[in-house]
C-alpha cells in the first residue's frame, strides 16, 4: 500500500499537541543559539581563498535549493568565472574529508557514496566541478587548490553557519511559504522566521503572481529586497528502462501513478496535473529514501485497470535499478529544469555583491 505523504495532518490528543509545541519552542531556541555561536567562530577557522555564495532554505526539504544552486553555478560559469559546487553529500556513505563527484568533465562517484543531491547537481550544472564533504570549509580549500575556484556555491548552506559567505540566497516554496510559521517538530521551519533577516537574495519557487504570504515574509526579512522568482519546467520524459526522451506533453489525458521519495510529493503532483495527467495512485516514500527491490513490488498494475504507467523524479531514478520493476510495470522519469524569470538580473546582483565585498575583480 502507498505510504502517506509526510506531514499529513492527524488527530492528536491535547497533551501530545502541547508536547510538540514545547519541543518546537526548545528547538527554535537551540537553532538561534547555534546560529549565534557558530557565526561568532567563523573568523577563527579561516575561509577558502574564493568568494562563497550560499544557496539554502529555512524550511525542511522541497524548496528547490539544489536546482537553484545548480542553475546559479552554471550561470556564473557562463560569465567566465571558475565555479565549483560544495554539497554535504547527505546520506552518502563516503567518509573522506572531500569526495570529488565531478571534475567538470567526468563523474567520479556514485549516489551510494556521494548522495542523490550531488548527482543531481552534476547533471544540472554541466562543466562545473561538484565536491562533497561534511566540513565545507575544507571542501572549499580543496576546490581552490584542485580547480582554481573563484566562486564556491554551497548547496543547502543557510544553516552551515561555520563558513563565512559573501551572499546568502534563500529559497522558499512559492505555494507553501512558511507553512504554519513554526519550527520543527510543530511546523516545517528549520529556524525561526527571524533568521530571514540574514537573507541577501530571496527566491520563490513556483509562486503564483501574488502569493498571500509575501507581506508576512517581507516583514520577517525586515528590509527592502527584490524577490526573485523561478519555475520548475518539465523538459523530458524518459523510460527508466532506457529509450529516447519524449515531450512531457504526452502525459496529457493519461492516468498515471506517482512514485516519489522527496520531501514534498505534492510538487510533483502539481507538475503532472499541470501537464494534463490524472494522478490516480501515489506511492510516497521518505525524502532521500534508499530504494530496494522490495519497495517497487507495490507498483504492480494488475489491480489498476486503465493505469497508463508510473512517473518518478530524477532524484528517485538515480537510486532505482530497472531490473527491480515488476513485470509489465512502466516507470518513466520526468526531467525538470529550473528557469528564473530574470536570470541575468539575479546573476548581476550576485556579481555586484561579490565585487562590493572585493571577492571578484
- Report how far residue 99's alpha carbon sits from residue 94's, in angstroms, rounded to the nearest whole number: 7
343 has pLDDT over 60: yes
Contact predicate 45/162, CB 8 Å: yes
Q: How much is the pTM?
A: 0.91
- Report how far residue 178's alpha carbon sits from residue 246's, in angstroms, rounded to the nearest whole number: 35
pLDDT of residue 73: 98
- Report how far residue 354's alpha carbon sits from residue 361's, in angstroms, rounded to the nearest whole number: 9
335 has pLDDT over 70: yes
Residue in 171, 168, 224 with CA at minimum distance from that of residue 61: 171
1 band by pLDDT with thresholds 50, 70 and 90: very low
Cell 543557510 belongs to residue: 158
Question: Exposed, middle or buried: residue 262 (CB in 10 Å: 0-12, 13-18, 19+)?
Answer: buried
Q: List residues bridging with 167 in a β-sheet.
A: 53
319 has pLDDT over 60: yes
Q: List residues bridging with 201 in a β-sheet.
A: 169
Contact predicate 329/219, CB 8 Å: no
Residue in 188, 159, 160, 186 with CA at minimum distance from that of residue 175: 188
Q: Which helix (H) or strand (E) holds 25?
A: helix 14-40
Residue 107 has which C-alpha cell? 563523474
37 band by pLDDT with thresholds 50, 70 and 90: confident
- The boundaries of every CATH 3.40.50.300 domain in the chain are 40-231+339-356
pLDDT of residue 43: 65
Fold category of 40-231+339-356 in CATH: Rossmann fold (3.40.50)
- Report how far residue 104's alpha carbon sits from residue 92's, in angstroms, rounded to the nearest whole number: 20
Q: Average pLDDT, stretch 95-99?
A: 94
pLDDT of residue 248: 97
Torsion on CA atoms 317, 319, 324, 325, rounded to nearest 10: -20
Report the CATH number of the 233-337 domain.
3.40.50
Average pLDDT over the chain reads: 91
- Report how far residue 269's alpha carbon sits from residue 290's, in angstroms, rounded to the nearest whole number: 21
Residue 186 has which C-alpha cell? 510543530
Residue 352 has which C-alpha cell? 555586484
Taking only the tens place, the pLDDT of each residue in 16-33 is 888 998 999 999 999 999
Percent of residues, the chain, with pLDDT higher than 70: 94
Taking only the tens place, the pLDDT of each residue in 71-86 is 999 999 999 999 999 9
- Report how far residue 52's alpha carbon sits from residue 140's, in angstroms, rounded to the nearest whole number: 9
Residue 222 has which C-alpha cell? 525586515
Helix intervals (H) in the chain: 14-40, 65-78, 111-114, 116-124, 136-147, 214-221, 265-274, 314-317, 343-356
Amino acid at each position: 500500500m502507498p505510504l502517506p505523504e509526510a506531514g499529513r495532518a492527524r488527530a492528536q490528543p491535547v497533551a501530545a499537541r502541547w508536547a510538540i509545541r514545547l519541543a518546537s519552542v526548545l528547538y527554535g531556541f537551540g537553532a538561534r543559539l547555534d546560529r549565534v555561536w557558530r557565526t561568532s567562530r567563523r573568523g577563527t577557522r579561516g575561509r577558502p581563498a574564493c568568494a562563497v555564495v550560499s544557496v539554502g532554505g529555512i524550511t525542511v526539504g522541497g524548496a528547490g535549493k539544489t536546482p537553484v544552486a545548480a542553475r546559479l553555478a552554471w550561470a556564473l560559469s557562463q560569465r567566465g568565472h571558475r565555479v565549483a559546487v560544495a554539497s554535504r553529500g547527505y546520506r552518502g556513505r563516503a567518509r573522506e574529508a572531500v569526495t570529488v563527484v565531478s571534475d567538470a568533465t567526468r563523474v567520479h562517484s556514485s549516489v551510494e557514496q556521494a548522495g542523490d543531491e550531488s548527482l543531481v547537481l552534476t547533471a544540472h550544472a554541466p562543466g562545473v566541478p561538484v565536491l562533497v564533504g561534511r566540513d565545507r570549509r575544507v571542501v572549499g580549500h580543496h576546490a581552490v587548490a584542485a580547480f582554481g575556484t573563484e566562486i564556491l556555491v554551497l548547496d543547502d548552506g543557510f544553516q552551515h553557519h561555520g563558513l563565512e559567505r559573501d551572499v546568502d540566497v534563500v529559497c522558499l516554496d512559492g505555494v507553501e511559504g512558511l507553512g504554519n510559521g513554526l519550527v520543527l517538530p510543530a511546523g516545517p521551519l528549520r529556524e525561526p522566521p527571524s533568521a530571514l533577516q540574514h537573507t541577501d537574495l530571496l527566491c520563490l519557487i513556483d509562486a503564483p503572481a501574488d502569493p498571500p504570504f509575501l507581506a508576512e515574509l517581507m516583514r520577517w526579512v525586515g528590509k527592502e529586497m527584490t524577490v526573485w522568482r523561478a519555475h520548475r519546467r518539465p523538459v523530458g520524459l524518459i523510460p527508466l528502462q532506457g529509450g529516447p526522451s519524449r515531450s512531457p506533453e504526452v502525459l496529457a489525458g493519461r492516468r498515471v501513478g506517482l512514485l516519489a521519495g522527496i520531501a514534498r510529493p505534492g510538487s510533483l503532483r502539481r507538475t503532472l496535473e499541470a501537464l494534463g495527467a490524472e494522478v490516480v495512485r501515489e506511492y510516497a516514500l521518505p525524502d532521500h529514501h534508499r530504494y530496494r527491490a522490495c519497495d517497487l513490488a507495490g507498483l504492480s498494475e494488475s489491480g489498476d485497470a486503465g493505469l497508463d504507467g508510473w512517473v518518478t523524479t530524477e532524484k528517485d531514478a538515480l537510486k532505482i535499478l530497472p531490473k527491480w520493476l515488476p513485470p509489465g510495470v512502466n516507470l518513466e522519469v520526468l526531467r525538470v529544469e529550473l528557469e528564473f524569470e530574470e536570470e541575468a538580473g539575479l546573476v548581476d546582483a550576485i556579481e555586484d555583491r561579490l565585487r562590493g565585498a572585493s571577492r571578484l575583480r
